[in-house]
Amino acid sequence: MKHIINSIIVSVFFLVFGAVGVHAYNHAAWGTDYGDATGYGQASNDKGIWQRLGDVNGIDDGVLWSVNDSDFGTTADLIIGEEVTFQFNLWQGNNGDHWYDQLYAVVDWNQDFYWDNSEVILYEKNDTLAHHGSGNFDLARYIKYETSFLVPETMNVGSTWLRARVQCHDSHEYGYMTPYGHLLQGETEDYQLSIVKAPDPEAPVPEPSTIILLSAGLLGLVCINRKKMLKKS
């Protein structure tokens, strides 16, 4: 799919914490996060403590979207032929021993229950503040990414899915992430997107005079019925 609009806005928010040092990797203790898109290939991550989407690893809270400049949220319908802006909130931990984290996102635009390379909407990497040999383990931060598209005219009314994943460079170097498989760190979040048609611009809209006449007619009927009831009583 050819992207009509593809702009990325990056803003960084720094959070300062006390130094915690490097943590040994313990995937058994932290558990596993799974993608939950219905009908798609599986994806999973060992949760870890180094990177995630949103505020809680294992809860889908790191992706929002806006349709035609509406407020960001997770409930707006995507309108065929109109603009949608996706917002991703990547969190980088204040510990670890790797060079960079990666954010990867894909939308099943053709609704065939398979994400392929042509449907990737965002793939970014961002250097960590606590990287190899720096000795700097006291900063964490949120990084916000935004990317905008026109919803393809070829989409059908119904639904589709977005998958977003984060990981460090130790699992795969930049350029090798996919929507599927298991990653040793990070998080996978899946979102179902509702697809609707744009309102018909040629749909007839009642003229104000028509509405007034209709209201007057209904009022007249009410008065006539009331008079009949009074005569009967």
Same domain? For 43 and 156 the reply is yes
Query: Same domain for 189 and 112?
Result: yes
| Claim to verify: residue 160 and residue 230 sit in the same structural domain | no
**Given this model, what pLDDT does residue 100 score?**
87
> Which range marks the domain in which residue 112 is found?
9-196
Q: If you ran DSSP here, which 8-state letter would residue 68 be given?
A: T
pLDDT per residue of the chain (233 residues) written in tens, 0 to 9: 545 445 555 555 444 433 333 444 555 557 899 999 999 999 999 887 788 999 999 999 999 999 999 999 999 999 999 999 999 999 987 666 678 899 999 999 999 999 999 999 999 998 876 555 554 445 678 999 999 999 999 999 999 999 999 998 777 788 889 999 999 889 999 999 999 999 887 756 555 554 555 555 555 554 555 554 445 55
Residue 163 near residue 35 (C-beta atoms within 8 A): yes
- pTM, 2 dp: 0.77
What pLDDT is attached to residue 49?
77
Domain CATH code at residue 79: 2.60.40.3880
Instruction: State how far the Cα of 132 lies from the Cα of 135, in Å rounded to an integer.
Output: 8
Same domain, 144 and 217: no
| pLDDT value for 132 | 52
Count of residues making up the chain: 233
- State the pLDDT at residue 174: 87
Same domain, 117 and 218: no
Residue 215 shares a structural domain with residue 187: no
Residues 165 and 233 in one domain: no
- With contact defined as beta carbons under 8 Å apart, do 137 and 95 qualify? yes
Tell whether 117 and 224 lie within a shared domain. Answer: no
What is the number of structural domains in the chain? Answer: 2
DSSP state letter for 208: H
3 within some domain: no
If asked whether residues 175 and 224 sit together in one domain, one would say: no
- Phi, psi (deg, nearest 5) at residue 27: -65, -30
Check whether residue 128 and residue 231 sit in a common domain: no
Task: For 77-139, give the DSSP string.
Answer: PEETTSEEEEEEEEEE-S--S-SEEEEEEEE-TT-SS---GGGEEEEEEEE-SS-TTT---SE
